[in-house]
Amino acid sequence: MKIKKLVRNGFVQKWFFTLLVLISALFVGFILYTRSNSEKVLQTEHTAYGELQTDRLTSQLDDNFSGSSQIPILLQTNQWARLFMLSEEPNLLFSDIYDQLNTQLVAYKTAFSALDSIYLYSAASDSFFHYDSDFPCSYQLLGDENCLTVEEIPDEPLYIYRRKNDLYPYLITLYYPVFLYNTKNMIVVNIDISKLSALQENQGNSMQSIYIISDDGQLLYRKNQENMPESIDRITELTYFDINQDFYSRYVNDAEPYVYVQQHSEKYPWYYVTVTETQNYFGKSVNLYDSLLTAIPWLILLALLIIIWLVLLATHPIRTISEFLENPLSQMPENIPDSETQSIIRKFLNYMQANQTLSEELQKQVQQQNEATFWALQSQINPHFLLNTLNLIRNAELDTLGYDHSAPKLTLALSRLLQYALDSTNLVPLKTEFHYTNLFLHILNLRYENKLHIDIQKDDAVDEVLVPKLILQPLIENAVFHGCSPQLHISNQIVVTAKAKEDLCQITVQDNGVGMPPEQLEALRSAVANLNDIPSDSIGLKNVALRMHLTYGEHFTFHIDSHLNEGTLITLTFPFPGQ
């Protein structure tokens, strides 16, 4: 009965017939395609494989050459090599310099198996220090046929190919100029091509041949090489070489078919070419194709059975989830055997519960936002009331005391400073901050009867740097109350500076007050560093550190330095905008 119901189910019928048609069409299409295009497909696959092998070989060989090419870069920073190249008689400065150099070069030879020899040319002494595994260390002149083939040191790294003493091995030679104190020295590295690891790994591969061809069309490497360089005309497979193509491949369908691929090195002036035979692979592919044709009926029957099983297996959890969505419950339904369906239904339950929670939270936030808006509007009345009251007081002072009295001036400065503090703008240019800082200093001097000597030094370059408003007032207030006020009977001086240092802006506030003992200074530094547990009498410093940190993040630094009976220095460093 259950199976009959499933068969009548439209969803089951839809997926069954869809999969049946799809699998049948795939098999028929596969048969027709392989019958008409098998050879072309195999050729494409062999060509793609050859291209992949050549690309891998190119990367390996370039890495092999790069490893040896790093030696001059390392040597030009080596202290013994630099002493040798700079001194006319280096052994008079260091008696064991040649032993040290030989040890270093032997280490490079050990690390790079393809390294044949290394030469260090000193312009100061016009001689070479030479390491070669076939010869002992020696000192030779420029142009010696055993090591060099150029008469002048090139200005840029130069690669040439040659034979060593007209005999094997065949070498790629790197001439690397080294400029030291207006002298042009040189490091020469000879690389034995046949010992490159990527080529040695291919020696036993009878199905593939590897060639290295220079940019001018000369054969630099092949198996059983007879000369250096050779003409590519001697190799039949290289008739397809195209010097104008950085990458080129083709399938050559001769009596013994092969894949020809050439790829130019990404770093060096030569091409890598591979020739891969394919006839054995093609025969095996044809046999596999014949076997596949015989097995196709059985594969179709197996596919039908798999389709029926997959459809029955797939429809059960889908129908279960569909029934749950039509009539959702607040808890997990019973009789759900598979864990995947349980997991999906559990996620639906979690989403439903989360949506309910979010809905309640949203209503709560809307209510809180309304309350906050109400109190924000309510709070706007208080600052206007204070400012209006200060203006009334100033007008009364002017009527009573006159314009020249300090009281109305003090009231006006306080009114402007309060209006600046209550303004909604968070970031202001540094020149604006200094303007209102001067108002604050005017109030302080009136309070302390001009016993404070305050010096402000500011670079014009930092005028437009943005800072949180009222960032200087807490620092100056801290210097006055904690540094200078305990000793107002002597000369008190506060110096405020703002200057540019490269791409940074630095603000300092320094006083000559009582200072702090070391233990108090360390406690304050520690508190400011973690921005927590700052003492209540340092709330201004906490405010400054927190606001600057929120504005400039990790690029902001806050430093305090103090000496007992000498004074305190506070330094703020932060980047210019956009730095």
- Tell me which of 9-23, 138-152, 227-241, 249-263 is least confident: 138-152
Q: Phi/psi at 165 (nearest 5 deg)? A: 55, 35
Compute the distance between CA of residue 119 and CA of residue 132 in angstroms, rounded to an integer.
Answer: 9
d(CA 548, CA 574): 8
Structural domain includes residue 215: no
Instruction: State the pLDDT at residue 195.
Output: 84
Answer with the one of 177, 195, 213 that is the final residue of a domain. 195
Report DSSP state, residue 238.
G
Mean pLDDT value of segment 549-578: 86
CA dist., res. 287 & res. 5, Å (int)? 46
CATH of the domain at 462: 3.30.565.10
Cα–Cα dist 284/292, whole Å: 12
Top pLDDT among 125 and 243 is at 243
Q: Is the pLDDT of residue 32 over 50?
A: yes
User: Within 10 A of 537 (CB to CB), how many other CB atoms are there?
Assistant: 11
Tokens of 292: 């596949």
Each residue's pLDDT tens digit, 207-257: 888 899 888 888 888 887 777 778 888 888 888 898 898 998 888 887 788
- Does a structural domain hold residue 540? yes
For 79-103, what is each residue's pLDDT tens digit?
888 888 888 877 776 777 888 888 8
pLDDT for 137: 39
Region 404-417: mean pLDDT is 74
Residue 237 lies in a domain: no
- Tell me if 42 is assigned to some domain: no
Residue 578 tokens read as 């956009």
Please give the model's pTM, rounded to 2 decimal places. Answer: 0.43
Stronger pLDDT, 415 or 66, i.e. the higher one: 66
**Boundary (domain end) residue, out of 136, 170, 195:** 195
CA distances from 550 to 47, 56, 428 (A): 60, 51, 15
Q: What is the pLDDT of residue 260?
A: 92
- Answer yes or no: is 389 within a domain: no
Tens of pLDDT along 378-405? Answer: 444 456 566 667 666 766 777 677 777 7
Does residue 267 form part of some domain? Answer: no
Q: Is residue 136 part of a domain?
A: yes
Is 65 exposed, middle or buried (CB count within 10 Å of its CB: 0-12, 13-18, 19+)?
Answer: buried
Q: Nearest Cα to 109, choosing from 138, 140, 130?
A: 130
Q: Which domain holds residue 492?
A: 438-575
Beta strands in 181-288 (DSSP E): 183-192, 208-214, 218-221, 230-231, 247-252, 258-264, 270-277
pLDDT at res. 569: 93
> What residues contact residue 300 under an 8 Å CB cut-off, 6+ apart?
23, 24, 27
- Pairing state between β 466-468 and 158-164: unpaired
Contact call for residues 525 and 542 (beta carbons, < 8 A): no
Distance CA 105, CA 464 (A): 58
Is residue 44 domain-resident?
no
Q: Greater confidence, 275 or 447?
A: 275
What's the chain's average pLDDT?
76
Backbone angles phi, psi at 577, to 5 degrees: -60, 135
Helix, strand and coil in the chain, % to nearest 5: 55, 20, 25
Q: Are strands 230-231 and 247-252 parallel, antiparallel or unpaired?
A: unpaired
Q: Which of 3-17, 159-173, 462-476 has the lowest mean pLDDT?
A: 3-17
CATH code at position 116: 3.30.450
User: Quick one: which H or E segment has residue 569?
Assistant: strand 567-575
For the chain, the straight-line distance linking the first and the last C-alpha, in angstroms and rounded, comes to 76
pLDDT, residue 185, reads 87
Q: 148, 172, 195: which is the final residue of a domain?
A: 195
What is residue 319's three-state secondary structure?
A: helix
Give the residue-averaged pLDDT of 281-288: 54
Structure tokens at 433: 């901050």
* Closest to 114 (Cα-Cα) out of 166, 176, 52, 69: 69
| Confidence category of residue 507, pLDDT binned at 50, 70, 90 | very high
In the predicted structure, residue 361 carries a pLDDT above the cut 70: yes
Look at the chain and report how many structural domains it folds into.
2
% of the chain residues with pLDDT over 90: 6
CB 194 within 8 A of CB 170: yes
pLDDT score of 497: 93
CA nearest 497: which of 576, 408, 429, 434? 434
295 vs 59, which has greater pLDDT? 59
CA atoms of 81 and 96, how far apart (whole Å)? 12
